[in-house]
Each structure stands twice: as C-alpha cells, then as structure tokens.
Amino acid sequence: MIGIGNCLQSHLSNLISNKMEIKIINTSGHPLPKYETAHAAGMDLRASITEEIVMKPLQRLLVPTGLFIELPVGYEAQIRPRSGLAYKHGISIVNSPGTIDADYRGEIKVLLVNLSDTDFKIVNGDRIAQMVVAKHETVSWQPVTELSGTARGDGGYGHTGK
C-alpha cells in the first residue's frame, strides 16, 4: 500500500508542477535537452556528429542528435527551428515543425536547410533545433453532407484582409 501512495504522490506532484517523465536514451555525450528559462516551451537539441559539417547554400542535411525517446500515447514531439539560427544564418528546418509520434523509437534527427547565400558550419554539440513536447487529440471522422455556416464561409487564403 505504501508503494501505491508514493506513486500517487509522485504523479500528483508532476501534475501540479506541469511536468511529465519521458524515457530517453542519450548516446551523444552531450547533456540532456533542457529548458533554458523557467517558462520556455522548447528544449534545444544538439548535433551529435564525429566531423564538422559545412552546409552549402540551399543544401538540406539530416543531422543526428544521439537522442532516442519514448513518448506517452497522446503526445508528440515537435522539432522546430531555432530563431537565432534562422535570423542570423538562414538555417531552418525543411519539414517544420517535424513530428515525432509516440510509437517512434529511432534516433531523433533534424532535417536542416541552409536558406542563406553563404556556407554554414556545424560542429559536434552545436544547438541546431528545438523540441516541444505537446499533447494532441485523436479524431474520429463524422461524415456529413453539410457543414454549419460561419461569417467567413469558404473564404481561403487572404480572404480576411491584407
């Protein structure tokens, strides 16, 4: 009975602090991803490479992180660009945000693209992206022949103004 009480107390503590535990394997030799500020949504991911990489302009490259995670069902990890790399160097992510599903067990890799007109160097340990873990819903489709009306109607891109 004591074990169940301790488990429940730990679960309640995590709920109150808005934290969850996620299993992770780290083969990179770098510290685990962490939140850099108290209210940050994303954690930086680091390159786990054996040799320096030079990305040419417009080149796409899959960069390993050395991290493997086990997300709970109902959660995803979104891989997003780092704003500083995007602004200062034109480095972004091709499939932004990239999605890691709860049933994926492979290494997290980041699909970078160099959108600048100059080479960009990546060395082992560089922060290359950020990861946000988020809850998501699973839908069940309800086929119908008509949808409810709205003020916007079927207006698409640019319909609501400049």
| 160 assigned to some structural domain | no
| 142 assigned to some structural domain | no
| 7 assigned to some structural domain | no
Mean pLDDT of the chain: 91
Kindly tell me if the per-residue pLDDT of 83 is higher than 60: yes
Q: Give the mean model confidence (pLDDT) for residues 146-162.
A: 79
Amino acid at 65: T
Model pLDDT for residues 117-148, shown as the tens digit of each residue: 999 999 999 999 999 999 999 999 999 999 99
Q: Which domain holds residue 35?
A: 22-135
127: CATH: 2.70.40.10
Q: How far, CA to CA in Å, does 159 sit from each of 148, 149, 151? A: 19, 16, 11
| 145 assigned to some structural domain | no
| 14 assigned to some structural domain | no
| 90 assigned to some structural domain | yes
Q: How far, CA to CA in Å, does 39 sit from each of 21, 34, 35, 43? A: 18, 12, 8, 11
Q: How many domains does the chain have?
A: 1
Residue ranges of the alpha helices (H) in the chain?
2-16, 83-89
pLDDT of residue 20: 87
| 69 assigned to some structural domain | yes
pLDDT band at 55 (very low <50, low <70, confident <90, very high): very high
| 120 assigned to some structural domain | yes
Model pLDDT for residues 57-77, shown as the tens digit of each residue: 999 999 999 999 999 999 999
